[in-house]
Structure formats: structure tokens, C-alpha cells
A = this chain, B = another copy of it.
Amino acid sequence: MQTKFLLTDSQIPKAWYNVVADMPNPPAPVIHPGTGAPVGPEDLAPLFPMALIEQEVASQRFIPIPEEVLELYALHRPSPLYRAHRLEKSIGTRSKIFYKYEGNNSSGSHKLNTAIPQAFYNMKAGRTRIATETGAGQWGSAMAIAGSFFGLEVKVYMVKVSYGQKPYRRMLMETYGATVVPSPSRDTNTGRAILEQDPDCNGSLGIAISEAVEDAAQRADTSYALGSVLNHVILHQTVIGLEAKEQMAMAGYYPDIVIGCHGGGSNFAGIAFPFYADKAAGKNVRLVAAEPASCPTLTKGVYAFDFGDTAKLTPITKMYTLGHSFMPAGIHAGGLRYHGASPLVSQLVHEGAIEAQAYLQNAVFGSAITFARSEGILPAPESSHAIHAAVIEAKRADEGGVEKTILFNLSGHGFLDLAAYDDYTNGRLVDHEHSEDNIQAVLGNLPKVSL
């Protein structure tokens, strides 16, 4: 009875998979926030090194991974694929459940998969400093670690409510040499303007992005880096799914259902897109994005052009959105509290190739505890949405008298989220469901786009 399916260093994928090559329609254009017209590579040059801009608009199916990135990937990759024998038994399902575990690295999540190449390409381009934001802290931690690998200075704008709630995340970033400030901060015009209006503002991912973008745009030595949403970030994460396909083959199964939790889209797309390639070629596989009911971007948002940030500094992309001024409830899955979504994921959801499901956090933590006590691993609150969706799908299959093979992405561990578990076990966790009514306001606040 095999539990783990492992690959060796030499089996780390040598190229990332670019889903654009297999999509039925080309990606929607990206719009300049000032002119309302499509952006060109030169418009993005102040923010990103050209290698990443090229990946952002690339159309070839596979993009080679540089040797230097592969060497650093080998510190934490290939990641293990597990057959969840004990979880299956614990919930009494006839279905087979597999999970890919991305938490065995010091960022504690999949985020390091893109932080390493982003740091690498910036170093190669001569940039010496990165400005970025972080919500729950996973992305900021990954960028701090990757920055330390390449000797880059890293400045992290951390959503203020997380900065207060998660001192360990701040300390982790500082241990790897990063500078961390609570956002909104006094270090940017955006931050100062918001603090003037509301000195007690708790911050949001949208605001923190605005601060980091403003910082990067004003310094020639500095790039902006984003931990999700963008095409090149999604691209880097496909190592997850590429490895998982090999490992599922080792196990002798092909998944009927592939599940990832969904915030900005990167861990979901990371595991799902390499299977989408098969789906596009006719294979029968369901791809399911699991999101929080309090921030139901894919299930209740609108598919429209919108800003990625609150201060309207970022390029405008076509995506599912709850509106760029959306303020999410303070749920513990901080990494899933984003108003927008990956344009690539959004387009495939819109076209019906990807399904989305939304869950309340108490139910999600219930499944997290069941998983922890059976499989041993303490899951991140974000990743627990994928666990919960897998449990729901298994139970649904049992009720239907069928047996499914389910694969989900366990994107990170919950060591730095124990306060959330404490709230759950002591009955202090409140469910938040986003109201459909609010969505209507979004429509009136979307940017004008001239195509």
C-alpha cells in the first residue's frame, strides 16, 4: 500500500507549460490604466524585467526553465504526491483521493515556485531591489527567501491587519533579510493619502499592490513582483501539475477531478493547467476551483475589465472581479481574499472549461481537522478549501454510487495559522457569505475600456 509517489531531482520539469497554446481563444488584451488602450511590452518595462514581460505574452506551449532556477527548485522540488489512504478511510469514501503537497519549503507554500524565477530574471536584468505586497504572508515570505538567494533587496508592503495578526510571518521575512512595513504605509503617496482619510485603515491586498507598484515605478533599480494572477506567475506554477501528472502515472491512476483552492489563481492553475492540456485534447477531466464564500470572485463576481488594485495604478485586465474597491471580510484564509482573479483562469471559467465552488470557513476548517488528524499534515486555511472540495466531491460520488479518482493541491501548511485553528476549535470562527446585492455596485465602478 504505497503512500507517497516521489520523483528525483532529475525529474524536475525542464520547461513550464503555457496554457495559452491550448486555449480555444487568445487571451483578452491587457489595458493601460491611463489611456484605456491595450498595453505594449514597453508600458510594463518600468515594473518588470523584459524576460518576465515576454513570458506574460508568450504563446509557445513550453518555456524552458533556466539552469539556475532548476538548481534552486531542487532545494524543495519535486514535491511529494500522496495517496490519502487514511483520509479516505476517515470519511468512509470508495473514491481514491490523492494530493500534491507544496508546503515542504520555508515559505510554507507553492509561492516559492514563482518567487525563485522572478528573483532570477530580475537579477539577470540588473535590478537590485524588489517591491511587493503580501496579504497572509506566504508570498512575501517566498519573495524574501528568493531575494536572499540572489542577493536582492526586498521591500514588502504587508496588509496591516495581517501585519498585526501574524508577527511570525513578518519575522520570517525579516530573517531572510526583507524589509516589511504595514500597508497602508507612510512610504508611498497612495499609503499617505489613504491614511489621511482613514488613519485606522486595516489595509487590503488592493491597497498594498498599489503601494508596491508605486514604489517600483519610481525607482530604476526596483521591480514590482506579484505572487499570483499574472500569466507569468501562473506559468511558473505549472511545475506542480507537470510533476503531478508523472506521479499519478506512477500511482497508476488518472484523475477524474483536479481541485485547487482559488484566490488569485496561481496554485489552482499550477495543478490544473497541465491537466487542461489533456482536456483540450479530449480527455474527460473536471477542473474545480474552490474559493471562500466570503470572497466568491469566480462564483459571484462579474467577468469584466477591472483594475488589479485599489488606487487604479495597475494595468486593467479582463477577469472575474468583485470590484477593485472590494473590502473582504477578515476570514482566516488571507491568501484567498482578493477581489480579482487570474485572467487565464477567468477566461477558462467563462468558457466553461473550469468549474468554481464556494465554501464557508467553518465547514472548511472541519475538513481541515479531519485531514490533519488522518494524514498528519496541518493544512493552511487556504489549502483547506481544496481539501473540503475533495471531501464534498468524494461524498457526492459515494451518494451517486460511483467511484472517482480525485486529485487536489495541498498548497501549504498551517503552522503560522494556528490562531485560526484555535478560533475554530473554540467556536469563535464566524462565517461570512458575500451578498449578491453588493455585486451590482461593482458594475457601475468598472473602468472605461476602448478596444
Instruction: Please list the residues of chain A having a beta carbon within 8 angstroms of any beta carbon in chain B.
Output: 1-4, 6, 8-10, 71-72, 74-76, 82, 86, 104-106, 108, 112, 145, 148-149, 167-168, 171-172, 174-177, 369, 372-373, 375-378, 413, 415-416, 418-419, 421-422, 425
Contact of A175 among B75, B171, B177, B418 (CB under 8 A): B418
Q: CA A218 – CA B419 in complex, angstroms?
A: 34
Residues A372 and B175 in contact, CB atoms below 8 Å apart: yes
Interface centre among A171, A175, A176 (most CB of B within 10 A): A175
Residues A105 and B376 in contact, CB atoms below 8 Å apart: yes
Residues on B with beta carbons closer than 8 Å to the beta carbon of A378: 106, 172, 175
Q: CA A373 – CA B146 in complex, angstroms?
A: 9
Least Cβ–Cβ distance between A53 and chain B, in angstroms? 27
* Number of identical protomers: 2
Least Cβ–Cβ distance between A378 and chain B, in angstroms? 5
Q: CA A82 – CA B105 in complex, angstroms?
A: 13
Residues B6 and A8 in contact, CB atoms below 8 Å apart: yes
State the 5 A-B residue pairs at the shortest beta-carbon distance, nearest first.
A171-B418, A3-B74, A415-B415, A171-B422, A168-B418
Q: CA A422 – CA B106 in complex, angstroms?
A: 16
Residues B71 and A1 in contact, CB atoms below 8 Å apart: yes
Residues A415 and B372 in contact, CB atoms below 8 Å apart: no
Q: CA A233 – CA B3 in complex, angstroms?
A: 25
Q: CA A112 – CA B3 in complex, angstroms?
A: 17
Residues on B with beta carbons closer than 8 Å to the beta carbon of A171: 418-419, 421-422
Q: CA A213 – CA B369 in complex, angstroms?
A: 30
Residues B415 and A376 in contact, CB atoms below 8 Å apart: no
Residues A175 and B425 in contact, CB atoms below 8 Å apart: yes
Q: List 19 A-B contacts (CB under 8 A).
A: A2-B74, A75-B82, A75-B86, A75-B377, A105-B377, A106-B378, A145-B376, A148-B372, A168-B419, A171-B421, A172-B415, A172-B418, A174-B421, A174-B425, A175-B369, A175-B418, A175-B421, A175-B422, A175-B425
Contact of A373 among B9, B177, B415 (CB under 8 A): B177
* Given A76-B376, A108-B415, CB of A2 within 8 Å of CB of B9: yes
15 extra A-B contacts, CB within 8 A, seeds A106-B372, A112-B376: A2-B9, A2-B74, A3-B74, A108-B415, A167-B418, A168-B168, A168-B416, A171-B421, A171-B422, A172-B418, A174-B421, A175-B421, A176-B372, A176-B373, A177-B373
Residues on B with beta carbons closer than 8 Å to the beta carbon of A105: 376-377
Residues A6 and B6 in contact, CB atoms below 8 Å apart: yes
Residues A75 and B3 in contact, CB atoms below 8 Å apart: yes
Residues on B with beta carbons closer than 8 Å to the beta carbon of A112: 376
Residues on B with beta carbons closer than 8 Å to the beta carbon of A10: 2
Q: CA A145 – CA B415 in complex, angstroms?
A: 14
Least Cβ–Cβ distance between A380 and chain B, in angstroms? 12
